[in-house]
Structure 1
Amino acid sequence: MIEIGHTPAKRLVTIRVSGKLTSKEYDTAVPEIEQAIEQSDGKLNAVVELDDMRGWDIAALWKDLKFDARHFDDFRRIAVVGASGGEKLSSKAAGALTSADVEFFLRDQVDKAEDWAAAD
Structure 2
Amino acid sequence: MITTDHRPNLVSVAVFGEFTLPDYKEFEELVNYKIKFEGPVSLLFDLREMVGFTLDVAWEEIRFSRQHSHDFRRIAVLTTDQWLTWSAWLSQIFVDAEVIVFDDDADARTWLEAAEEPAQ
Q: The residue matched to 2:93 in structure 1 has which SS?
A: helix
- After TM superposition, where is structure 1 displaced by more than 3 Å over at least 4 residues in a row? none
Q: Percent identity?
A: 28
The amino acid that maps onto 1:56 is F
Q: Deviations over 1:53-101 (max 9, x none)?
A: 2332222222222111111110011011112222222211121121100
Residue of structure 1 in register with 2:24 after alignment: 26
TM-score, with length taken from structure 2: 0.85
Q: Which residue identity is paired with 1:61?
A: A
Read off the aligned partner of 2:81 and give its amino acid letter. S
Query: What is the CA distance between 1:30 and its match in structure 2?
Result: 1.4
User: Residue 4 of structure 1 contacts residue 33 of structure 1 at CA under 8 Å; is this kept in 2?
Assistant: no
Q: Which residue of 2 aligns with 1:48?
A: 45
**Aligned runs of 1:1-16 on 2, under 5 Å?**
1-8=1-8, 11-16=9-14
1:116 to 103, 111, 116: 111
Letter in 1 for 2:62: L
Give, in whole Å, the separation in 2 of the partners of 1:60 and 1:15: 15
Amino acid at match of 1:27: K
Structure with the bigger percentage of helix: 1
* Alignment: residue pair count: 115
* Structure 1 position 85 matched with structure 2 position 76: no
Q: Which runs of 5+ in 2 are unaligned?
A: 116-120
Question: Which residue of 76, 95, 99 maps to 1:98?
Answer: 95
Please say if residues 3 and 29 of structure 1, whose CA atoms lie closer than 8 Å, have aligned partners that are also in contact.
no
Unaligned runs of 5+ in 1: none
> What is the CA distance between 1:14 and its match in structure 2?
0.6
